[in-house]
Structure 1
């Protein structure tokens, strides 16, 4: 089959397009999916660059579980397609089923989610013609959306769903979303709006109108947080940026406010005055990928037509390097997707 292999840690040159990769076969309780489309995520870039250190050695290169990766690896977590083969224990009637894949490979509850395997990191993913997953991770979908549009949802939207759930966002509350033009940020705008929250989106000046079209009630310039963001003005901050703006984000919270974080694009090391935390009785909440329960809730919104897919551009599989180079420039709104296409 055709696939792009990640051959080691490094730059885009570590991505090698091949047409002679052995096709995977589904094991017991697994299905094989013919890939229709796979979206790109920050994790693809950071894994390739070796940005995830192990728990014992933060400077080491590893995968999502902070354990050494096995190379070559096929990346790509956000996959839409059709089941074309099933393993033992899976009904043959599932062959031909159109599916969207939950990329979190774990069993159990929330504690197990913390040490989850991630499709395209600990297990070969969707930058290929075929991918295998546990049958429970392949969810049937009935929607007029294209495979490319469906692929924009899994990681970003399930991550956003978990952030909102972890922070307990309620109807009528106000929420500040950082990185609002990115995948998780734009998902947060839509999902928070669906649950009746008032959204303030922090975006670059040229993307304010797009954030409003998604449902944001107000926008602020992400470069001017310290001057444009009033103190004690929101109930929740949903942050994927961190970095130097962190103190301004905490100051923006009302008493008993909640700060939930699932990324640190601007830098993971931050400083703040802890008196802000304890005098205002704030909650600081960590979050990462969505749980299986979050994913099922997301599917209901997708099939109910409540979410707008943000497909910025598509690339053929053989041009994955170019797609990743586009991705790191961040000059787009929504998601980039690759498609295997025809031989």
Structure 2
């Protein structure tokens, strides 16, 4: 028999860590086409921190770290703080979920019951409209969560639950960027922020496409990134133009932005592409339009995932074409310690939260 209550981290509003409350909440009731998933492991991303801070508001122009440092219980609430719209607080965050389906609302989805699944966090509708697990509706920072059955993907592999929970948001975001940018074999790709969840995922996903990889990360993280067969590792303080030369790369994957953004356009070849789905070093950048139009550069923004992205990832995992980069696990109730460690940026890969088991 399913319990009536579950433990969850409830984000009650914008602000500091005091907004993260570990408490009992009612088990979510299932509606048509939905399945209930017992969460075994929940990955952690910039997204949860940014949403709590209201960083997606157009009024924020600083980096995610600096915004976090200034967060306080008294900070002004931002009505557009969640993806430039209001966030439905109180909210159970958690974008990444590995778990087991324990019940289904409809007989047509009973075959999923008992299956280990990954949940697709980006749920796209018409055009580019999309909603996200843990940002627009309750997510995986709990013992149970629910989704439409079509977003629960059964998976068979030898990875642990925690290893699988590193995949959905980071690898889905990276796969979507490379898919949209049409990276092909033999091209050279420059990946900024390469030690983070999305950056390290992009390395693997670009490598399986046969690209040459140039990765930017702090030098202390280079030994770990060398294991991913990166062709050239650069420090984030290096002079890219002197080391690479102008017109040297086909594609830039840049979720960092900030002060280094103008240099990214300089190193792109004529007809090159820059793809982004984030701006952790600061969302407001300098752009010399001449670098863009005189070189026929394409700028590609990505949030809504294309349909093939998540099924592609399931296939890559089951065929052993990518590997998990699990940095550390924390009990769910220790989310504050996990987010503090996350923001220190000393890790490579992903942090994962583990809910306590029912009993």
Q: TM-score range by the shorter chain?
A: over 0.9
Which residue among 106, 124, 148 is the counterpart of 1:106? 124
CA contact (8 A) 1:64 1:117 kept: no
CA deviation vs aligned residue, 1:207-265 (integer Å, no higher than 9, x gap) = 12222211211111111244434211111111011111111111111111111111111
Q: Residue 117 of structure 1: CA displacement?
A: 1.1
CA deviation vs aligned residue, 1:182-227 (integer Å, no higher than 9, x gap) = 0110011000000000000011111122222112111111112444
CA contact (8 A) 1:102 1:292 kept: no
Counterpart Cα distance in 1 of 2:259 and 2:110: 54
SS of equivalent residue, structure 2 residue 327: strand
SS of equivalent residue, structure 1 residue 90: helix
| Equivalent position of 1:141 in the other structure | 155
| Equivalent position of 1:15 in the other structure | 20
CA deviation vs aligned residue, 1:247-287 (integer Å, no higher than 9, x gap) = 11111111111111111111111113222222221111111
| Equivalent position of 1:197 in the other structure | 211
CA contact (8 A) 1:54 1:61 kept: no
Which residue among 309, 315, 328 is the counterpart of 1:300? 315
SS of equivalent residue, structure 1 residue 214: coil
| Equivalent position of 1:75 in the other structure | 93
CA contact (8 A) 1:242 1:266 kept: yes
Q: Residue 54 of structure 1: CA displacement?
A: 7.0
| Equivalent position of 2:197 in the other structure | 183
Pairwise mapping of residues 1-343 of structure 1 onto structure 2 (< 5 A)?
1-18=6-23, 20-53=24-57, 60-62=78-80, 64-108=82-126, 111-112=127-128, 115-226=129-240, 227-342=242-357
Q: CA RMSD in A?
A: 1.7
CA deviation vs aligned residue, 1:151-198 (integer Å, no higher than 9, x gap) = 000011111111111111110000000000001100110000000000
Counterpart Cα distance in 2 of 1:127 and 1:268: 27
For structure 2, which runs of at least 5 residues remain unmatched after alignment? 1-5, 60-76
CA contact (8 A) 1:63 1:122 kept: no
Q: Residue 50 of structure 1: CA displacement?
A: 1.1
Counterpart Cα distance in 2 of 1:103 and 1:78: 7
Q: Residue 64 of structure 1: CA displacement?
A: 4.3
Q: 1:104 to 1:90 in 2, by over 3 A?
A: farther
- Higher mean alpha-carbon deviation, 273-282 vs 125-134, is at 273-282
Q: Residue 306 of structure 1: CA displacement?
A: 1.1
For structure 1, which runs of at least 5 residues remain unmatched after alignment? none
Counterpart Cα distance in 1 of 2:79 and 2:216: 32
CA contact (8 A) 1:30 1:135 kept: yes
CA contact (8 A) 1:151 1:337 kept: yes
CA contact (8 A) 2:10 2:20 kept: yes
Counterpart Cα distance in 2 of 1:289 and 1:186: 20
Counterpart Cα distance in 2 of 1:78 and 1:169: 25
Count of paired positions: 335
CA deviation vs aligned residue, 1:53-110 (integer Å, no higher than 9, x gap) = 279xxx93446453322221100010001000101353323210110000112334xx
Counterpart Cα distance in 2 of 1:65 and 1:90: 34
CA contact (8 A) 1:225 1:245 kept: no
Counterpart Cα distance in 2 of 1:4 and 1:283: 41
SS of equivalent residue, structure 2 residue 296: coil
